[in-house]
Amino acid sequence: MPIHWPFGNRRKEIIAQPFAQEWLSILGVNVKQYGLLTEAEQVRLRDDLRIFMAEKYWEGVQGFEIDDEVKITISALACLLTIGFAEHDYFPNVQTIVVYPDAYVASSASQLGESQAIDLSDQPRLGEAHGRGPVILSWADVVEGGQNAADGRNLVFHEFAHKLDFRDGDANGVPLLRDQEELDMWAQVMSAQFELLVNDVQHHGHTPLHSYGATNPAEFFAVCTECFFEKPVRLKDEKPELYDVLRDYYGIDWALRAPG
């Protein structure tokens, strides 16, 4: 992973510190995928999550207290998405992470302190991500998703997949890809699979993907990400082409690690 000035020395200092035993306990309980990683991947995740949590601004709202459990859990789940990347820079388009205690209704910008540049409505939400704004999460749903690694639902994976999608400036279900060949394959497979999901949802078809993915291509990518990390074996069995493009993008053959 790249280490850029002026962060290089500080990042080295962060990962040089011993990893606290209580933090390992948090990973064991709240981040079930941690136990499926190889030893080398676990070391990398522990380093990545410490840098991530140190470089982000954390804000609890509605009286919610941000403690080590909150930071470790969210940071680990976010960094799982990049564990297979040859290089990354800790979600540079994420500066602030806002955490509610539970599902919330964002009805006024004043609720969010310095995180005000968001599109608000009166609809209940579990989380959201914005191109130039914060990631907002319900802690209750973060915990539920982290402790159940096989139901295909994970709020942190979903919202941080959106942040990967935003890296090229558009929320269109196409993250930054390596080259034109990968882009062509992505467009071919993802477009076809999105249409299949829309059809499955309309006709109550059987699919490993959550129906919310039929909303638009951006939500489709986020839902596919959840499924790839939580139901990889089923996804590979039922939708091998979709699994392959996600495996190539995320740089990890997750079906080899997960039980199902």
> In this predicted model, what pLDDT tens digit does every residue of 68-83 receive, in sequence order?
999 999 999 999 999 9
> What CATH number does residue 69 fall under?
1.10.472.150
Mean pLDDT of 6-31: 91
Q: What's the maximum distance between 2 C-alpha atoms anywhere in the chain? A: 55
Question: Which residue blocks in 62-179 are alpha helix, DSSP H?
Answer: 68-80, 139-147, 155-165
Question: Is there a single domain that holds both residue 145 and residue 235?
Answer: no
More confident residue, 205 or 29: 29
Question: Is there a single domain that holds both residue 130 and residue 224?
Answer: no
**Mean pLDDT over the full length of the chain:** 90
Tally the domains of the chain. 2
Question: Is there a single domain that holds both residue 90 and residue 186?
Answer: no
Question: Is there a single domain that holds both residue 36 and residue 90?
Answer: yes
Question: Is there a single domain that holds both residue 97 and residue 211?
Answer: no
CA distance 138 to 101: 6
Please say if the pLDDT value at position 258 is more than 80.
no
- Containing structural domain, residue 86: 8-151
Mean pLDDT of 153-164: 96
Give CA separation, 218 vs 16, 95, 150, 225, 235, in Å.
Answer: 38, 21, 22, 11, 19
Contact yes or no for 131/175 (Cβ under 8 A): no
Boundary residue ending a domain (104, 135, 151): 151
Question: Is there a single domain that holds both residue 76 and residue 23?
Answer: yes
Q: What percent of the chain has pLDDT above 70? A: 90
Question: Is there a single domain that holds both residue 76 and residue 193?
Answer: no
Mean pLDDT of 41-58: 97
The C-alpha torsion from 171 through 177 and 181 to 187, rounded to 10°, is: -20
Mean pLDDT of 109-138: 68
Boundary residue ending a domain (151, 167, 192): 151
Q: Which residues pair with 127 in a beta bridge?
A: 137
pLDDT at 107: 54
Amino acid at 81: L
Question: Is there a single domain that holds both residue 115 and residue 194?
Answer: no
Q: What is the per-residue pLDDT across 213-252, written as a single tens digit (0 to 9) for each?
A: 999 999 999 999 999 999 999 999 999 999 999 999 999 9
Question: Is there a single domain that holds both residue 217 and residue 134?
Answer: no
